[in-house]
Structure 1
Amino acid sequence: MYLRKVGVGMKKTFHPAWNVLRRITGIAVSLICVVTLLPFLQAEGAGIQNATRLMQPFTLIKSTTELHSDTLAPDAVQQFAHEQAIILGTEQAGNQWDHAQLDFYPLGPGTRSWLVYANVGESPVGYMIISANDQGQLQLSEYGQGEQRPYNISLLYQALDRQQLDLEELIPDGGGLQLRYAPPLLAYWKVEMPNDDVIYIDATNGDTLPTGVLKALDTDSRQASKRMKSIRSISVQAVVMTPEDSPQVSSLSVDSLDLQPLFDPADNLLWITSKALSINGVKTLNQQWKEHKKIVFSADHQNVLYGGPLPVSGYQIWRDERGTVHNQYVAIGGNTSVRRFVPLQSLLRDGNFYAVKP
Structure 2
Amino acid sequence: MNRNFHRPWHMIRRVAGVSAMCLLGLTTLSTSLQAEDILSLHASTTELSFQLTTARSDDSHLSGKLAPVAVQQFALQQVKALGSLQNTDQGWNSAQLDFSPLGPGTHSWLVNAHIDGSRVGYLIITANLKGKLQLSEYGQGEHNPYDLSLLQQSLQRHHVDLKELSRGGNIQLRYAFPLLAYWQVEQSGADIIYIDATNGDTLPNGVVEAMERKSQDEQTPTLSSTLPVTVQLQSRSAERSNVPSFSADPIYVQPDFDPADNLLWITSKAVPVTSLQPLIQQWTNQQAIVFSADDNILYGGPLPVSGYQVWRNDDRSEQIEYVAIGGHSSVRRFVPIDTLIEDGHFYIFKP
> How many angstroms does 1:89 deviate by?
0.4
Distance 1:284 1:248, change over 3 A: farther
Q: Deviations over 1:275-309 (max 9, x none)?
A: 10112222211111223521100003x21222231
Q: CA, structure 1 residues 154+26, in 2 after alignment: closer, same or farther (shift >3 Å)?
A: closer
8 Å contact 2:69–2:230 — kept in the other structure? no
Superposed CA deviations along residues 188-246 of structure 1, whole A, max 9, x for unmatched, are 00111111411111000011111110111233344456x644x444532799xxxxxxx
Shift of 1:267: 0.9
1:215 paired residue number: 209
Q: 2:236 corresponds to which residue? A: none
CA separation in 1, counterparts of 2:25 and 2:226?
A: 26
Amino acid at match of 1:149: N
Q: Displacement, 1:343? A: 0.1
Q: C-alpha displacement at 1:346, in angstroms? A: 0.4
- 2:163 is matched with 169
Give the CA deviation at 1:20: 3.6
Contact 1:41–1:178 under 8 Å retained in 2:
no
Mapped pair 1:315 → 2:303: no
For structure 2, the residue ranges without an aligned partner over 5 or more in a row are: 43-48, 232-240
Paired with 2:341 and 2:70, the residues of 1 have a C-alpha distance of: 29
Q: Aligned pair in 2 of structure 1 residues 269, 209: CA closer, same or farther (>3 Å)?
A: same
Are residue 330 (structure 1) and residue 323 (structure 2) matched?
A: yes
Show the 5 A alignment for 1:69-88.
69-88=63-82
Deviation track 1:83-131 (CA, whole Å, cap 9, x = no partner) reads: 1111110133342111111101110012110000000111110000000
Instruction: Tell me what 1:351 maps to.
Output: 344
2: CA distance between counterparts of 1:169 and 1:234? 43
CA distance in 2: counterparts of 1:114 and 1:218, whole angstroms: 17
CA distance in 1, matches of 2:338, 2:274: 9
Q: Any conservation in 1 of the 2:27–2:147 contact (CA below 8 Å)?
A: no
User: Structure 1: how far apart are the matches of 2:348 and 2:157?
Assistant: 33
User: Which amino acid in the other structure matches residue 207 of structure 1?
Assistant: D
Q: How does 1:243-322 map to 2 (within 5 A)?
A: 249-300=243-294, 302-322=295-315
1:324 offset after TM fit, Å? 3.4
Say which is worse superposed, 193-202 or 216-225, in terms of deviation.
216-225
Q: Is the 8 A contact 2:32 2:170 kept in 1?
A: no
1:103 aligns with 98
> 1:22 aligns to what SS in structure 2?
coil
Aligned residues: 329
User: Superposition RMSD on alpha carbons, in Å?
Assistant: 2.7
Q: What SS class does the counterpart of residue 250 from structure 1 fall into?
A: coil
Report the alpha carbon displacement of residue 357 of structure 1 after superposing the two structures with TM.
1.1
**In the alignment, does 2:140 pair up with 1:145?**
yes
SS of residue matched to 1:125: strand
Gaps of 5+ in 1: 1-15, 240-246
Deviations 1:10-48 (A, max 9, x none): xxxxxx7xx846248785447766625769943x45654
3-state SS of the aligned residue for 1:141?
Answer: strand
Report the CA distance between 1:160 and its aligned residue: 1.2
Equivalent position of 1:124 in the other structure:
119
Instruction: Supply the AA of the counterpart residue of 1:107.
Output: L
Q: Map residues 16-95 of structure 1 onto 2, 5 A cutoff.
A: 20=4, 22-23=6-7, 27-29=11-13, 35-36=23-24, 41-42=29-30, 44=31, 47-48=34-35, 50=37, 51-53=39-41, 55-65=49-59, 68-93=62-87, 94-95=89-90
Q: Whose helix fraction is larger, Structure 1's or Structure 2's?
A: 1
Partner of 1:235: 227
**Given that residues 132 and 227 in structure 2 are in contact (C-alpha distance below 8 angstroms), is that contact kept between their aligned partners in structure 1?**
no
Q: Is the deviation greater in 93-102 or in 110-119? A: 93-102
Deviations 1:42-77 (A, max 9, x none): 3x4565453325535534111034561211011110
Q: Secondary structure at the match of 2:150?
A: helix
**What's the TM-score, normalizing by structure 1?**
0.83
How much identity, in percent, do the aligned residues show?
50
Q: Secondary structure at the match of 1:156?
A: helix
Distance 1:340 1:261 in 2: 15
